[in-house]
Amino acid sequence: MQTTSAKSSIIVSSPVLSEAGELYGKHGLSRKTVVLFDDNTRKLFRDRVIGTLEQQGFRLLEITVPARESSKSFKAAYRLYGAMIEAGIDRSWNLLAVGGGVVGDLGGFIAASYYRGIPVVQCPTTLLAMTDSAIGGKVAINHPLGKNLIGFFHMPEMVLIDPSFLSTLPEREVFGGMAEVIKYGFIADLNFLRWLERHFDRITSLEEPFISEAVRRSALIKADVVEKDFRETTGLRATLNFGHTFAHGLEKLAGFRGIRHGEAVTIGMACALALSRRLGYLDAADMQSGLDLIARFRLPAGLVNKRFLAHRADIVFENMFSDKKKLDSKLRFVLLKKPGEAFLLEENVEDQAVLEAIEEARKFFSTRTKR
């Protein structure tokens, strides 16, 4: 049972795992832990993670999955269930997910379902996971017909965030994670958005204390929203999906390959800004200000061309209907009234308005790729 709030269970420090024994004790967790890596995080962080935990008296079982989106599957989950059963893992154990979104989602899914639920601790290693996917308790695996369609609400007992892990990230992953960071400014905190505009280059260069502050404020904004609307009953939590209805359509169109989630969200937010303006909620100056910030992202020109500009707006629109943000076969959009204030639009949106918003975003990115 979750005994702490989402916000109080988020710890941002470096080296965060040096405090693991004390933190586990405070949260009523045993020092019997299944540690889930993917191939990349095991290579990069295994010695640091395992060595630190063993020094603090942890009993550990290591399991590893391939570092790819296809690991979020029933096949991978069943293999890991078998390894845990054979090792005698019972309800007195917990699971520590060390990695990005794939590991966090898969680890949370396994923890939610193994023995009808064991505690999960998230230790995100990417900027996107630190600020979004590791927080909030939505864990899932994919289906061939859509991403994240099968899953649970299973809150992590803790989210242990060590910004020093980010030093291993390639630039593309940094900018992918930055999409979720600026999303929080767009939807919930104008002061944070303006701070991000001032310090964008320092944050994306992973300069301290700017990167840690960006991570901390992003994580706390999400945790606050999650606490107020854990199961998406009021529409508040849905605002976290700003740009995502468009983004998941792009991911589906790409077969969930070749475009990072954060890259799809970056493009999706441009579409959502355009739709917010087209429907009369956002004024032109605020839309342009948002697009100016998105223009600072270093998206590969080839990716934008292949995964977005090469597809007609109606094809992008068609693929958006596989998204979970639809209800009764109708798409749901998160829009902005102004920077820092988002809302879930309850009314139906005319198809033509969505198509025109996609076209406007296509013109914006087409101009950028030609520079």
Look up 261 and say whether it is catalytic.
Answer: yes
| Catalytic pick among 157, 173, 180, 251 | 180
| Catalytic pick among 42, 138, 260, 278 | 138
Nearest to 57 by CA among 79, 81, 31, 76: 31
Nearest to 307 by CA among 349, 353, 369: 369
| Catalytic pick among 27, 216, 217, 237 | 237
Look up 237 and say whether it is catalytic.
Answer: yes
- Write the CB contacts of 204 (distance below 8 Å, at least 6 apart in sequence): 171, 174, 175, 178
Nearest to 29 by CA among 54, 58, 6, 55: 58
| Catalytic pick among 42, 72, 147, 222 | 222
Distance CA 23, CA 28 (A): 9
| Catalytic pick among 86, 116, 346, 371 | 116
| Catalytic pick among 261, 307, 325, 362 | 261
> For 130, which DSSP code?
I
Look up 363 and say whether it is catalytic.
Answer: no
Look up 338 and say whether it is catalytic.
Answer: no
Angle between helices 284-294 and 261-278 in degrees, nearest 10: 170
- Virtual torsion, Cα 19, 21, 27, 33, nearest 10 deg: 120
| Catalytic pick among 244, 252, 311, 362 | 244
Look up 311 and say whether it is catalytic.
Answer: no
Look up 208 and say whether it is catalytic.
Answer: no
| Catalytic pick among 19, 197, 213, 232 | 232
- Three-class SS state of 118: coil
| Catalytic pick among 94, 142, 241, 319 | 241
Look up 180 and say whether it is catalytic.
Answer: yes
| Catalytic pick among 248, 307, 332, 362 | 248
Look up 222 and say whether it is catalytic.
Answer: yes
- Tell me the chain's radius of gyration from C-alpha atoms: 20
Look up 199 and say whether it is catalytic.
Answer: no
Look up 248 and say whether it is catalytic.
Answer: yes
Q: What are the residue numbers of the active site?
A: 116, 138, 180, 222, 232, 237, 241, 244, 248, 261
